[in-house]
Structure 1
Amino acid sequence: TAQEHCTKMVFLLQPNSNKAERFDYVMEYLKKMAGTEYVGFSNATFQSEKETGDRNFAIGYYLKEKKCFPKNANMIAALDFYFQLCSIEVTCESGSVMAATLANGGICPITGEQVLSAEAVRNTLSLMHSCGMYDFSGQFAFHVGLPAKSGVSGAVLLVVPNVMGIMCWSPPLDRVGNSVRGIHFCQELVSLFNFHNYDNLRHFARKLDPRRQSLDDRNKSVVNLMFAAYSGDVSALRRFALSAVDMEEKDYDSRTALHVASAEGNVEAVIFLTETCKVNPHIKDRWGNTPLDDARQFGWDGVVSVLTEYQRMYPCSSESQSETEDQRKLDTLKVVV
């Protein structure tokens, strides 16, 4: 069960540290997963968990009898630590960011930090899929087909891998301790969208699939990218880069985001596109102008300085460009992080 997994895993967290250091270690991880959102601790919940945790003590003694714990392990101390972890508080906002971090391969979508390794995310989602919904886990895996974790507060944390994370909250619980409306929401979600693990992504025409890109979607992506460059919205540009958007996409005039940012004098956007995304500064629009030509035409000296220095370091030959193009696209996400 999930409780058995958690009880055993708490022994492996910073085994040579004291209680306070172990708790701070976990809290730091959770805060990184939540980006800038709220993560707190409820002492009242902690005391209540300790007083009513007879089932957890029973599981602990059962696992101890089966020699599941390392030698010299203090089971009572481990359970005390487990009750502390059960008393950590989040909001729907911070929980959704945590879910999104798991959906995003361990990269927090708010800060762009690589919080968890890809292997850790895979193992976590596997556990959530198999035992995250208490005794309802099997039915949930069958009907919803997505990794999730519920809590007796009425919260349900749902992960759609490579798409998004969701946290919903509704206190009325069913007989096994899951949110009634939370489960209903998850079921309605997969009935509308092609998110179930075993939905056919090609031929299931009755469901919507946000992951499938159409020509209209690509056109909207180009327009949004250009408007972000036009307004100097570096946060939007960073979101596009983290979403694996090609930062060298061209509009109908063969102009890139770097052309637009340079023509508008948006220095910070130009710096992000060059230093972080490593876009090609030599691309010419339909009139034969490079981004540097646009910056000079409109008299943006700051942008001219940045682009001149960047072009000096950027490989100029077509052979060098073709060799580095694929590597640039692969490295963009890493550089953003």
Structure 2
Amino acid sequence: MNKAGISLNDPRLAKFTKALNELQGNKINRNVLQSKSLTLDRETFRIVAKENLHMLLRIMTNDFCIPDFESFASEIQTVFNLCKENTSGQVASYIPELKEMNPNYWGLSLCTVDGQRLSMGDSTIPFTIQSSSKPITYALALTDLGPQHVHQYVGYEPSGLPFNQISLNHKKRFKYVENKFSQMAGGLPMGFNNAVFLSERETADRNFAIAYYMRENKCFPPTFELRELMDFYFQICSIEVTCESAGIMAGTLANGGINPLTNETVVSAAAARDTLSVMHSCGMYDYSGQFAFKVGLPCKSGVSGIIMVVVPNLLGLAVWSPPIDRHGNSARVELKVQISQYFWTVHIVQNVVV
């Protein structure tokens, strides 16, 4: 399972794991199989394995989109270690709570469309998702309301402007969004950082100025409460994820809106496609054009230091390092450039190269 990139806590192996738990008499963990402390005879294994036989056969035959996962992981580890040496950038300070984050944190996690997973570094440390939430909320809006309604108020042209530039491109719902985020992450729980939420709201003069400007120019639906809407936005930005949960979210987008671990359709295929299109052109603030040229893959950054990258039909990747550059992107952004060289054949326009 380790060689194939499949975790023992993969929900597709839940029945198998439960059966092992019952045999063992206590909770299974990853070290049990590694240490060979649980020995089964042929008949017992047959009974246990039948619960998730199809998945176990795929593991034994490496029937996944990345068959040689060990070599793949080794190459990613090399790039990860190389980029760790980059100590440039500064932790975001315009939101007071964010500047308290340890600048040395450096994590990575990816999830393929077949549910193979790889995590490195500080991949389980929680942090606020910030603007990397926008592809998910955009995809949810497209799924629930349809593109015609959404694009009455939201454009899809890259502006080439900073993320908080004033521009016309314009109690239950938060719980709904939080649950959808969790579904995107294969059921992993979402946290909420109330201190960051209050900090963002306290220092939101520019965001409120943008919102009032948009309201003046009829960029919102007729019936809405501006302050309530802004609170909702700050709440979403303050949702806590880890590299592991964000990587699975990106993997869900890579898989056309279907979660690779649960096989649950969270957003429609059309919404996933349209979201990736906008991520490709607009996902990195005023660095979007350069990133699209160099990497050629959909991505979205946030000022907490997260960047989600999607390789359509292959995998989703989340990396996190709090120091950001002048564009508001993680200063270790060159990791994605170097990893993209590994995935050069999936550059969005690579098939036109002779």
TM range (shorter): 0.5 to 0.7
TM-score under structure 2 normalisation?
A: 0.51
- Kindly indicate which of the two structures has a greater share of residues assigned to strand: 2
1:64-109 CA-to-partner distances (Å, cap 9, x unmatched) read 1111111132111111100100101110100000000000011101
The answer for the alignment partner of 1:157 in structure 2 is: 308
Q: Which has the larger radius of gyration?
A: 1
DSSP-derived class of the 2:279 partner: helix
The one-letter code sitting in structure 1 at the alignment partner of 2:286 is D
The answer for the alignment partner of 1:59 in structure 2 is: 210
Contact persistence 1:129–1:141 (CA under 8 A)? yes
The one-letter code sitting in structure 2 at the alignment partner of 1:129 is H
Q: Does 1:170 align with 2:321?
A: yes
The one-letter code sitting in structure 2 at the alignment partner of 1:161 is P
DSSP-derived class of the 2:303 partner: coil
Aligned partners of 1:94, 1:9: CA distance in 2, in Å? 18
What does residue range 193-208 of structure 1 map to in structure 2 within 5 Å?
Answer: 193=343, 194-200=345-351, 203=354
Q: What is the alpha-carbon root mean square deviation over aligned residues?
A: 2.6
Structure 1 residue 201: deviation in Å? 7.5
The answer for the alignment partner of 1:191 in structure 2 is: 341
TM-score under structure 1 normalisation?
A: 0.53
Aligned partners of 2:237, 2:325: CA distance in 1, in Å? 20
Aligned partners of 2:138, 2:185: CA distance in 1, in Å? 21
Aligned partners of 2:305, 2:246: CA distance in 1, in Å? 13
Structure 1 residue 24: deviation in Å? 0.7
Q: Does 1:111 align with 2:272?
A: no
Aligned partners of 1:95, 1:115: CA distance in 2, in Å? 15
Structure 1 residue 202: deviation in Å? 7.9
Structure 1 residue 168: deviation in Å? 0.7
Q: 2:241 aligns with which of 77, 90, 93?
A: 90
The one-letter code sitting in structure 1 at the alignment partner of 2:201 is K
DSSP-derived class of the 2:307 partner: strand
Q: Does 1:131 align with 2:282?
A: yes
Structure 1 residue 36: deviation in Å? 3.0
What does residue range 1-337 of structure 1 map to in structure 2 within 5 Å?
Answer: 20-181=171-332, 183-193=333-343, 194-200=345-351, 203=354
Aligned partners of 2:328, 2:181: CA distance in 1, in Å? 24
Aligned partners of 1:62, 1:139: CA distance in 2, in Å? 29
Contact persistence 1:135–1:176 (CA under 8 A)? yes
Structure 2: which 5+ runs fail to align? 1-130, 146-170
DSSP-derived class of the 2:323 partner: coil
Contact persistence 2:196–2:238 (CA under 8 A)? yes
Aligned partners of 2:172, 2:324: CA distance in 1, in Å? 34
Aligned partners of 1:201, 1:106: CA distance in 2, in Å? 27
Instruction: Quote the sequence identity (%).
Output: 55
Structure 1 residue 48: deviation in Å? 1.0
- Inter-CA distance 124–163: structure 2 relative to 1 (3 Å threshold): same
1:106-164 CA-to-partner distances (Å, cap 9, x unmatched) read 11011111111011111211221222211211211111111111111111111000010
Aligned partners of 1:48, 1:188: CA distance in 2, in Å? 35
Contact persistence 1:38–1:91 (CA under 8 A)? no
The answer for the alignment partner of 2:22 in structure 1 is: none
Work out which structure has the larger RCO, using CA pairs closer than 8 Å and 6 or more positions apart in sequence.
2
DSSP-derived class of the 1:168 partner: strand
1:293-337 CA-to-partner distances (Å, cap 9, x unmatched) read xxxxxxxxxxxxxxxxxxxxxxxxxxxxxxxxxxxxxxxxxxxxx
The answer for the alignment partner of 1:283 in structure 2 is: none
